[in-house]
């Protein structure tokens, strides 16, 4: 049996001061094969254990110091301990003036990467960060890219704890984000769920030695006063790394909807004014324990609670040219959402082989009381309504991944994932009778249960040969879904077993120019709430209803990229979706009611071409600009009359950075779109401009940011003309907003390169309740 050896020592400078975070690497003999690596501790010490017998050399390096390489030495089978100390001499560096650090943008065959870790982040939240991603447009809490709004959001490869995109965009702090990945052609390692791009937000991991933290406060005006504060603390000592954070945020928002539509010979003018001030409480923590250089275990957990009370004032006027009548109602919402997540993991990584075992538990509880009451006398008959809806979603996910790095030119991996989702939604609908009593509305009340399991097995490899690169993957998913209406005593089952291939091919044309093509096949399952047969009223004449008959949609997606110095330059993409999930608006001329429901369309075709260019050619200016041309088409012979919607659109976007005098950093972002399709709605031109400035104080520990958001006052104007629906729509939300943020960092500034990648999850994205 071979005994194991160990190597230890100290790293100091010429003044015998210990050097923290010096890189120490053990190489095998004269080769470039690294056996092990680490960073020195707070005392400048390093220690390698379990080193087999053989010949080695050690390399020690640190920024600002010369690199030291030891002579080749041998270790025998005696199990000895070798002590080697190193003294690094400081280098005389030329003075470097950094005026502004901008985000790094990189285009690969599968995704667009915006690295903002070392950029001077001015912005305050995720919504502002998303505006740094070329081609992404954010309006009223909605994300659009190349004419596609069906975008899935992940956080560290996992779906967000928030259940609606608008809350996530407004409430996630920007300074927590390392980079944003816009995954246009997801590979086999990602869930096959979705038909549009994936946005993966990579958060900062604690890699600083010692104890450090952050305190952040924000105040602003968005139709009303908005404010929030948060604090985080983290510690990395020896083998233990822990971090904890807490935050409170009181947002302010407003959603106004004005609809004018024809019902036979009458005109219905409906106005809904809905201001609200949601509150969010966040608490999270995590522990990582580095057992040795190759094994890591850890646990992460968090709790998020969102409270949202609002009263929507509805005004409906019915006129026929000679007479008119008005109905006024108040629609009050009282919502409480609580999300718990628990995520233990294990990771083995020896540079060549990487094994990750991951478990995730999510419990999402939703309570809602909704009252739709008439507030004044009206000739229009109306019965007051009351709704109680409680929902509980439990998601269990187990995942294991293995990756093998053969060399710089070839790697491969495989993995498996199993998810179990249990949901219980209970809607109690009550209608007021002539005696003022609220009685059960049997046509609307319903308790709906969903049990779903998804098993996935996948593999992927990456290869490079000379100027060529290739990536291929295959994912198999089997899903078994059972939906039960307890009230109606009815159960429906659906089982799907499919293979989902993905591949990409790239080539370097010159040192600067490269091309790549990619293909992926994906599935979009109906959201859990859309499968519910609930009926939910927004105002007396507008409601939403579920559709238990929905089936998944399948998408073939193709993309071509032309890059310049690895940055996006020109791209063309095409996606074809069969049985596309489509939100249709219908009208009942007898009751004058309009309803929104999701259906399966025959087909959706989407074509996009984009052109991108950096702004560096202008002295002192950083950033980019570009245009996107999009064609969107929806067709269905299943509907009567047949549906055939199509629209071309052109979007210009830009994001620019400039350093003003007195070390003040400034940013401006903007867009202009000629219009497009939002489902059935054909909307007119839109535009937006944001401006922000920031400056650092107190040895760069305090950053003060001021942002002016949505400077242009342009509303959403749309129209619907299909079958008997003839309507115009105006949607309005707060603009010309202002935010002031103070961000103070304290503690250690020493870094240690230790990180873990997270596995992905799809299921929570399908719980699409709105705030």
Cα radius of gyration (the chain): 29
Q: What confidence score (pLDDT) does residue 156 get?
A: 79
197, pLDDT greater than 90: no
**pLDDT confidence tier of residue 124, bands split at 50, 70 and 90:** low
Q: In this predicted structure, what is the pLDDT of residue 617?
A: 80
d(CA 746, CA 758): 27
| Cβ count near 185 (within 10 Å) | 26
Helix (H) or strand (E) segment spanning residue 387: strand 385-407
Lowest model confidence (mean pLDDT) among 275-284, 596-605, 758-767: 758-767
Determine the average pLDDT of the residues in 663-689: 91
pLDDT over 80 at 403, yes or no: yes
Question: DSSP class of residue 170?
Answer: H
Return the minimum-mean-pLDDT range out of 41-55, 281-295, 504-518, 583-597: 41-55
pLDDT in tens, 525-536: 887 777 777 777
What number is the average pLDDT over the span 658-678?
A: 90
Q: What is the mean pLDDT of residues 358-375?
A: 91
| Whole-angstrom distance, CA of residue 151 vs CA of residue 136 | 10
Q: How do residues 331-356 score in pLDDT, each as one tens digit?
A: 998 889 899 999 999 999 887 899 99
CB atoms near residue 16 (< 10 Å): 9
Give dist(CA 110, CA 473) in Å, integer: 12
Q: How far is Cα 48 from Cα 60, in angstroms, rounded to an integer? A: 14
Cβ neighbours of residue 189 under 8 Å, at least 6 residues apart? Answer: 401, 413, 415, 458, 460, 473, 760
pLDDT of residue 758: 40
197-206, 224-233, 458-467: which has the minimum mean pLDDT? 197-206
CA distance 419 to 761: 9
Confidence of residue 317 (pLDDT cuts 50, 70, 90): very high
Whether 556 has a pLDDT exceeding 80, the answer reads yes
Tokens of 727: 């309507």
- Give the H or E element holding residue 667: strand 664-673
Of 206, 294, 240, nearest to 41 (Cα)? 240
- What pLDDT score does 490 carry? 85
What is the set of domains in the chain, with CATH numbers? Answer: 5-88 (2.60.40.10), 210-333+340-766 (2.40.170.20)
Tell me: pLDDT of 582 over 50. yes
708 touches 690 (CB < 8 A):
yes
577 class by beta-carbon count within 10 Å (0-12 exposed, 13-18 middle, 19+ buried): buried
Residue 548: phi and psi, rounded to 5, are -65, -10
Q: Which residues of 292-307 are buried (b: 16+ CB within 10 A; e: fewer)?
A: ebbebebebebbbebe
Give the angle subtended at the CA of 564 by the CAs of 561 and 568, to the nearest 5°: 45
Phi first, then psi, for residue 97 (nearest 5°) are -105, 115
Residue 623 has pLDDT above 90, yes or no: no
The predicted pLDDT at position 95 comes to 38
* Lowest-pLDDT choice from 95-104, 464-473, 528-537, 630-639: 95-104
d(CA 238, CA 479): 44
pLDDT band at 652 (very low <50, low <70, confident <90, very high): very high
Q: How far apart are CA 124 and CA 683, in angstroms?
A: 29
Are 637 and 650 in contact by the 8 Å Cβ rule? The answer is: no
Mean pLDDT for the chain? 85
Q: Are strands 54-61 and 68-69 parallel, antiparallel or unpaired?
A: antiparallel
β-partners of residue 739 are 220, 707
Q: Can you give the pLDDT at residue 751?
A: 45
The DSSP secondary structure of 453-466, one letter per residue, reads EEEEEEEEEEEEET
Question: Half-sphere exposure of residue 216, counting CA atoms within 13 Å on the CB side?
Answer: 26
Give the mean pLDDT of 626-633.
94
| Largest distance between two CA atoms of the chain | 105
Residues contacting 759, CB < 8 A, separation 6+:
157, 158, 356, 358, 360, 397, 399, 401, 417
- What pLDDT score was predicted for residue 40? 84
Q: Which residues contact 89 (CB under 8 A, 6 or more apart)?
A: 13, 14, 65, 66
How far is Cα 630 from Cα 607, in angstroms, rounded to an integer?
6
pLDDT tier at 373, thresholds 50, 70, 90: very high
Report percent pLDDT > 70 for the chain.
92
Model pTM score: 0.80
More confident residue, 760 or 609: 609
Contact 316, 541 (CB under 8 A): yes
Token digits of residue 609: 């071409």
Q: In the structure, what pLDDT confidence band is assigned to residue 574 with cuts at 50, 70 and 90?
A: very high
- Provide the percentage of residues in the chain whose pLDDT is more than 90: 40
pLDDT over 70 (residue 768): no
Q: How far apart are CA 575 and CA 555, in angstroms?
A: 7
Residues with Cβ within 8 Å of 221's Cβ and at least 6 positions away in sequence, in order, are: 252, 737, 738
In the numeric block, which tokens belong to residue 297? 């275990």
CB-CB contact of 328 with 338 (8 Å) = no
637 vs 630: CA distance, rounded Å? 24
Q: Which of 190, 123, 117, 201 is nearest to 162 (CA)?
A: 201
The pLDDT confidence band at residue 509, using thresholds 50, 70 and 90, is very high
Per-residue pLDDT averaged across 188-217, rounded?
Answer: 81
| Contacts with 86 (C-beta within 8 Å, 6 or more apart), sequence order | 9, 10, 11, 12, 22, 58, 60, 68, 70
Listed in sequence order, the DSSP H helices in 504-591 are 528-531
Whole-angstrom CA distances from 121 to 233, 391, 666, 704, 741 are: 20, 38, 10, 11, 12
pLDDT band at 401 (very low <50, low <70, confident <90, very high): very high
Distance from C-alpha of 337 to C-alpha of 194, rounded to nearest angstrom: 25
Region 736-757: mean pLDDT is: 69
Q: How far is CA 81 from the centre of its chain?
A: 48
CB 240 within 8 A of CB 188: no
pLDDT class of 240 with cuts at 50, 70, 90:
confident
Where do we find the tokens 């005109």?
267
pLDDT tens-digit map of 435-485:
989 999 887 888 889 899 999 999 999 999 999 999 999 999 999 989 888
Tokens of 270: 């409906």
The answer, yes or no, to whether residue 628 has pLDDT greater than 90, is yes
Looking at the predicted structure, is the pLDDT value of residue 162 above 70?
no
Task: Look at residue 538 and tell me whether its pLDDT is greater than 50.
Answer: yes
Tokens of 262: 């024809």
The DSSP letter of residue 540 is T
Signed CA dihedral, 555, 560, 563, 568: sign only:
negative
């Amino acid at each position: 049996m071979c005994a194991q050896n160990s190597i230890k020592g100290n790293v100091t400078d010429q003044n015998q001061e210990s050097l923290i975070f010096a890189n120490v690497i053990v190489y095998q003999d004269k080769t470039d094969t690294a056996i092990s690596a680490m960073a020195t501790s707070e005392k400048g010490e390093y220690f390698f254990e379990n080193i087999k017998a053989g010949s080695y050399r050690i390399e020690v390096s640190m920024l600002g110091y010369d690199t030291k390489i030891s002579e080749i030495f041998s270790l025998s089978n005696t199990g000895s301990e070798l002590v080697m100390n190193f003294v690094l001499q400081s280098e005389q560096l030329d003075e470097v003036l950094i005026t502004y650090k901008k985000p790094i943008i990189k285009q690969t065959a599968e995704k667009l990467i915006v690295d903002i870790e070392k950029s001077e982040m001015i912005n305050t939240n995720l919504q502002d960060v998303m505006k740094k991603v070329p081609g992404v447009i954010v309006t009223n809490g909605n994300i659009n890219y190349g004419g596609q709004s069906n975008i899935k959001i992940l956080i560290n490869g996992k779906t967000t704890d928030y259940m609606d995109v608008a809350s996530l965009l407004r409430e996630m702090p920007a300074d927590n984000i390392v980079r944003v990945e816009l995954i246009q052609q997801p590979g086999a390692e990602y869930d096959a769920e979705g038909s549009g791009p994936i946005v993966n937000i990579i958060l900062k991991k604690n890699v600083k030695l010692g104890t450090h933290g952050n305190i952040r406060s924000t105040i602003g005006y968005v139709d009303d006063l908005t404010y929030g504060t948060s604090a985080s603390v983290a510690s990395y000592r020896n083998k233990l790394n822990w971090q904890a954070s807490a935050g409170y945020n009181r947002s302010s928002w407003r959603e106004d909807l004005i609809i004018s539509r024809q019902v036979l010979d009458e005109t219905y003018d409906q106005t809904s004014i809905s201001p609200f001030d949601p509150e969010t409480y966040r608490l999270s923590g995590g522990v990582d324990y580095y057992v040795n250089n190759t094994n890591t275990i850890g646990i992460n957990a968090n709790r998020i609670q969102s409270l949202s009370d609002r009263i929507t004032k509805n005004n409906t006027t019915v006129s026929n040219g000679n007479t008119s009548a008005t109905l006024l109602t108040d629609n009050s919402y009282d919502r409480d959402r609580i999300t718990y997540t628990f995520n233990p993991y294990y990771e083995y990584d020896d540079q060549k082989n990487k094994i990750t075992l991951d478990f995730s538990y999510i419990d999402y509880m939703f309570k809602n009381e909704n009252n739709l009451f008439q507030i004044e006398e009206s000739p229009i008959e109306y019965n007051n309504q009351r709704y109680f809806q409680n929902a509980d979603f439990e998601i269990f996910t187990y995942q294991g991944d293995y990756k093998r790095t053969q060399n710089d030119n070839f790697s491969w991996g495989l993995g498996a994932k199993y998810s179990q989702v249990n949901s219980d939604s209970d809607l109690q609908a009550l209608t007021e009778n002539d005696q003022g009593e609220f009685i059960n509305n049997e046509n609307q009340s319903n308790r709906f249960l969903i049990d779903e399991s998804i098993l996935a097995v996948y593999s992927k490899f990456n290869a490079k040969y000379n100027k060529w690169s290739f990536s291929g993957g295959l994912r198999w998913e089997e899903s078994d879904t059972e939906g039960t209406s307890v009230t109606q005593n009815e159960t429906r089952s659906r089982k799907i077993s499919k293979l989902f291939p993905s591949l990409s091919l790239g080539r370097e044309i010159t040192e600067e120019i490269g091309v790549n093509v990619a293909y992926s096949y994906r599935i979009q399952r109906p959201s859990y709430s859309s499968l519910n047969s609930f009926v939910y009223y927004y105002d007396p004449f507008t409601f939403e209803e579920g559709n238990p008959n929905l089936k998944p949609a399948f998408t073939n997606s193709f993309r071509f990229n032309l890059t310049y110095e690895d940055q996006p330059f020109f791209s063309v993409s095409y996606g074809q979706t069969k049985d596309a999930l489509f939100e249709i608006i219908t009208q009942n001329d007898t009751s004058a009611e309009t309803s929104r429901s999701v259906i399966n369309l025959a087909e959706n075709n989407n074509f996009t071409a984009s052109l991108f260019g950096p702004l560096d050619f202008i002295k002192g200016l950083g950033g980019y600009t570009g245009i996107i041309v999009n064609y969107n088409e929806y067709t269905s012979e299943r509907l009567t009359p047949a549906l055939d919607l199509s629209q071309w659109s052109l979007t210009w976007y830009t994001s620019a950075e400039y350093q003003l005098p007195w070390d003040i950093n400034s940013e401006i972002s903007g867009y202009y779109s000629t219009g497009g399709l939002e489902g059935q709605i054909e909307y007119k031109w839109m535009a937006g401009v944001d401006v922000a400035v920031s400056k650092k104080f107190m040895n760069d520990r305090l950053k003060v940011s001021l942002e002016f958001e949505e400077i242009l006052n342009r509303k959403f104007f749309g129209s619907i003309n299909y079958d008997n629906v003839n309507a115009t729509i105006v949607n309005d939300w707060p603009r010309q907003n202002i935010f002031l943020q103070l961000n103070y960092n304290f503690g250690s500034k020493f870094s240690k390169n230790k990180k873990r990648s997270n596995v992905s999850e799809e299921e929570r994205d399908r719980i699409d309740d709105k705030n």
